[in-house]
Amino acid sequence: MTARLDALRAAEGEPDPDSLAAGERLRRAFPADDVAWALTQVALRRRTAGRLDRAADMLFTPAGAEQATRSTVARWRAERFADAGVRRVWDIGCGIGSDAMAFAEAGLEVLAVDADAETVEVATHNLALVGAGPARLGRAEELDVPAGDAVFLDPARRTARGRSWQVEDFTPPWSLVLGYLSSARFVAVKLGPGVPKELLPRDVQWAWVSASGDVVEASLWNRLEPGPLAVRIDKGVHTLRPAGRALDVRPLGRYLAEPDGAAIRAGLVAEAAGERDAWLLDEHVAYLSSDTPIDSGWVSNFEVLDVLDHDRKALRAYVRDNRLGRLEIKKRAVDVNPAELRRALKPKGPGAATIILARTPEGTRAVIARRLALG
């Protein structure tokens, strides 16, 4: 590993590590395999720089870089473990160690385990950055976790065919995950945000998490209040729980609002409206409307400027006549490809607008709107 780290330092010093010249220069001083590894690490560090606080010093595997938890989300999760009184946590299937690092930084003793030897080596390097580790090589099915220790699992859900929601493709096995969740210990399980809800046990908490506007994961928690939870992480951590609010369906008002993706996935669209008088445009679609902007923090607000029939020719004429050169196109439950529609509308000019294709009581409409920036 020492020789490879020397090659990595040299690759980081290249003004353009992606160039052929950089590769040729590095191969004069280092073996070709080490150069290829170092250049891959540089690319992965750059790819993860916006998500991981210590990306510039970390090592990666390609799969680990893709599945690594964002630092803000990992800190939120580690704080939940600490708040529950956990002292020691086993990160089973730790990957490159982004969650294990957050556990250590939260003051918890962490035992990071992975079944892949290369991944264990990478995680050991990364854990050393926070004074923890080393990671251990082991299979989840063979571990003997002490009864008083907490467990965190991030099952691998990718096969040679791509991402899978077939439970028989999960590693470690889904039966093992469910066994931990039904145990007396404190357990959390990270899943992708698109997890089918029929997979989720009914007696645990389901938390969908958005970070800086993107829904990044779902997680299951066995020792917290069961049911859905939406978590929004931006400048702080905000949560949304069921409040029993029901919304009726009415025609479009002065404003249209799109709830945060975590609230939508958690089924908390009505709760996202806060105390405002808001309603749905369609009982099956997560668009809200109101006559005043919704300031709950859980929605993006759009001021309605015009409403057109869902007709491509009429839209193209509107875009041309209003000299709209910058278009944001949004839709839900409407069979349209936004990128293809944008090309067909041929935007040109100094103006900008958002086009929202929405089902309403009057049928599908093209709502021309202006995005609002609320404090």
Q: Token pair for residue 50?
A: 């916006």
pLDDT for 168: 78
Where is the domain boundary, 180, 208, 237?
237
Sign of CA dihedral 154, 171, 44, 133: positive
249 in any annotated domain: no
Same domain, 145 and 103: yes
Instruction: Give the chain's domain count.
Output: 3
d(CA 295, CA 276): 8
pLDDT for 175: 93
Same domain, 316 and 215: no
Q: Are 214 and 238 in contact (CB under 8 A)?
A: no
168 in any annotated domain: yes
pLDDT for 190: 96
Same domain, 155 and 40: no
Same domain, 206 and 261: no
d(CA 289, CA 269): 12
d(CA 314, CA 320): 10
Higher model confidence: residue 159 or residue 316? 316
Same domain, 178 and 275: no
Work out the mean pLDDT of the chain and round it to a whole number. Answer: 94
27 in any annotated domain: yes
245 in any annotated domain: no
Q: pLDDT for 246-300, tens place per residue?
A: 999 999 999 999 999 999 999 999 999 999 999 999 999 999 999 999 999 999 9
Same domain, 224 and 84: yes
Reported as a pLDDT band with limits 50, 70 and 90, residue 162 is: low
Instruction: Give CA 259 to chain center in angstroms.
Output: 16
Domain span at residue 10 reads 2-49
Q: pLDDT for 76-92, tens place per residue?
A: 999 999 999 999 999 99
Whether the bond between 347 and the residue before it is cis, its omega within 30 degrees of 0, is no
pLDDT for 161: 65
Same domain, 32 and 82: no
Query: What contacts 187, CB < 8 A, 6 or more positions away?
Result: 150, 151, 152, 153, 180, 181, 220, 221, 222, 223
**Confidence check: pLDDT of 62 > 80:** yes
- The β-bridge relationship of strands 88-92 and 109-114 is parallel
Same domain, 74 and 221: yes
pLDDT for 171: 86
pLDDT for 170: 85
CA within 13 Å, CB half, 63: 15
**Confidence check: pLDDT of 165 > 90:** no
Higher model confidence: residue 165 or residue 117? 117
pLDDT for 163: 67
250 in any annotated domain: no
Reported as a pLDDT band with limits 50, 70 and 90, residue 159 is: low
Same domain, 133 and 180: yes
Number of H helices and number of E strands within the chain?
Answer: 12, 18
**Other beta carbons less than 10 A from residue 204's beta carbon:** 22
Same domain, 185 and 76: yes
**Section 299-310 average pLDDT:** 97
pLDDT for 158: 66
Same domain, 86 and 222: yes
**Confidence check: pLDDT of 164 > 90:** no
Same domain, 74 and 42: no
**Section 188-206 average pLDDT:** 94
Q: pLDDT for 339-357, tens place per residue?
A: 999 999 999 999 999 999 9
64 in any annotated domain: no
306 in any annotated domain: yes
Q: Token pair for residue 196?
A: 């089918």
**Confidence check: pLDDT of 126 > 60:** yes
Q: Token pair for residue 209?
A: 């998490």
- The β-bridge relationship of strands 88-92 and 150-153 is parallel
Where is the domain boundary, 174, 204, 237?
237
Alpha carbon of 114 to those of 90, 247, 277, 339: distances in Å? 11, 46, 50, 40
**Section 53-72 average pLDDT:** 95
CATH of the domain at 126: 3.40.50.150
61 in any annotated domain: no
**Confidence check: pLDDT of 375 > 60:** no
**Confidence check: pLDDT of 157 > 80:** no
**Confidence check: pLDDT of 102 > 90:** yes
Instruction: Please state the three-class secondary structure of 160-181 as a single string.
Output: CCEECCCHHHCECCHHHHHHHH
Q: pLDDT for 9-58, tens place per residue?
A: 999 998 888 899 999 999 999 999 999 999 999 999 999 999 999 999 99
- pTM of the predicted model, to two decimals? 0.92
